[in-house]
Amino acid sequence: MKAFLILEDGTVFTGTSIGSKREVISEIVFNTSMTGYLEVLTDPSYAGQAVVMTYPLIGNYGICQEDMESYKPWPDGYIVRELSRIPSNFRSEDTIQHFLEINDIPGISGIDTRALTKILREKGTMNGMITTDEGFDLDEVISRMKTYSVTGVVKATTCKESYVLPGEGKRVALLDLGAKKNIARSLNERGCEVTVYPADTKAEVILSTNPDGIMLSNGPGDPKECTEIIKEIRKLYESQVPIFAICLGHQLMALATGADTHKLKYGHRGGNHPVKDLETGRVYISSQNHGYVVDEDTVDPAVAVPAFVNVNDGTNEGMKYTGKNIFTVQYHPEACPGPQDSSYLFDRFINMMEVGKNA
């Protein structure tokens, strides 16, 4: 079946419908990863967005449920150049086409995703529509797209109630802002008992359990929308409990301590982004998925100092908080598959909890 991708600037791409046949309006973003498409599809940070995969062939190793980063896929839509319909992988349990269908995710294949990405790079992230309606009215569609915005996505993606992953080591409270499974798993593999809390959990509830450390997860949407969560994170900041924050958690900690964030032109989404550790000078290859960054010019050096920088564009990739056992990163040290250069950050967090307990 023929399908159309219509952009807010009036550009129309014609291709083939994949997945669900329903119509969807969403924010269109691109990811440059060559592998890990299932992890992309099941990353809650993509809630409210339709994802363009720049690598030309997607789906060639099928679907393996064990690799999912959440219990379901979250993007509003999926856009690819070519979809592999016959996967070749001994672990494959399903095709990506069927996976999209059963999860009601509309998509489009057969379009020039490189040309689409170039538009998004030059003009910036914009809204778009995926539709199979050949009789669409372009002016009417553009008018509808201009009113769309990504809202309420942290509430949609967080867990509904707290749960515990048993462990014999440090006790970590993980605030689920739309967390990928591998964050809790990375802590669990290091022996930690991980208690996962919904995003709206009060700081007093978390602190009353006397955790050895607190983890703030990744998540979707504009960090400034999370006004009530920011207030609770401020209380966590004022405690003496060691804190490690990733992506959205990193942004919310900055906002909770008086800094500001802003939206990037087209964001960082992919598995090959170089970041520099400002303390050691070493460069790591990181996996990233974010559209907002902390504005370093608004950070009070008495509160925090930059710890990592993006080598490509100079934007902030992490903070170290002055006089606190708190550090945060914009990228994903838990990312799997992909570069695992920065998985040591979980070990740093474990060590920080050890030191904090013995202090």
As annotated, the active-site residues are 247, 332, 334
Rounded to an integer, what is the distance from CA 152 to the centroid of its chain?
15
Pull the structure tokens for residue 293. 């960054």
Phi, psi of 145 (to 5 degrees): -65, -35
Residue bearing tokens 């994802």: 51
- What are the counts of helices (DSSP H) followed by strands (DSSP E) for the chain? 10, 19
The answer to whether 292 is annotated as binding is yes
Please compute Rg for the chain using Cα positions. Answer: 20
Half-sphere exposure in the Cβ direction for 301 (13 Å, CA): 1
The answer to whether 219 is annotated as binding is yes
CA-wise closest residue to 18 among 50, 64, 61, 55: 50
Query: Do 48 and 27 touch, CB atoms closer than 8 A?
Result: yes
Pull the structure tokens for residue 74. 């979250």
The answer to whether 188 is annotated as binding is no
The single-letter DSSP state of residue 342 is T
Query: Do 31 and 53 touch, CB atoms closer than 8 A?
Result: yes
Query: Do 148 and 27 touch, CB atoms closer than 8 A?
Result: yes
Gap between the Cα atoms of 128 and 141, Å rounded? 9
Alpha helices in 200-308 (DSSP H): 203-207, 227-238, 248-256
The single-letter DSSP state of residue 65 is G
Gap between the Cα atoms of 102 and 72, Å rounded? 10
Gap between the Cα atoms of 354 and 242, Å rounded? 10
The answer to whether 10 is annotated as binding is no
Pull the structure tokens for residue 210. 């006397």
The answer to whether 221 is annotated as binding is yes
- Give the DSSP letter string of 153-174: HHHHHS-SS-EEE--SS-EEEE
The answer to whether 197 is annotated as binding is no
**Binding site for L-glutamine: residue ranges?**
45, 219, 221, 248, 251, 289, 291-292
**Binding site: residue ranges?**
45, 219, 221, 248, 251, 289, 291-292
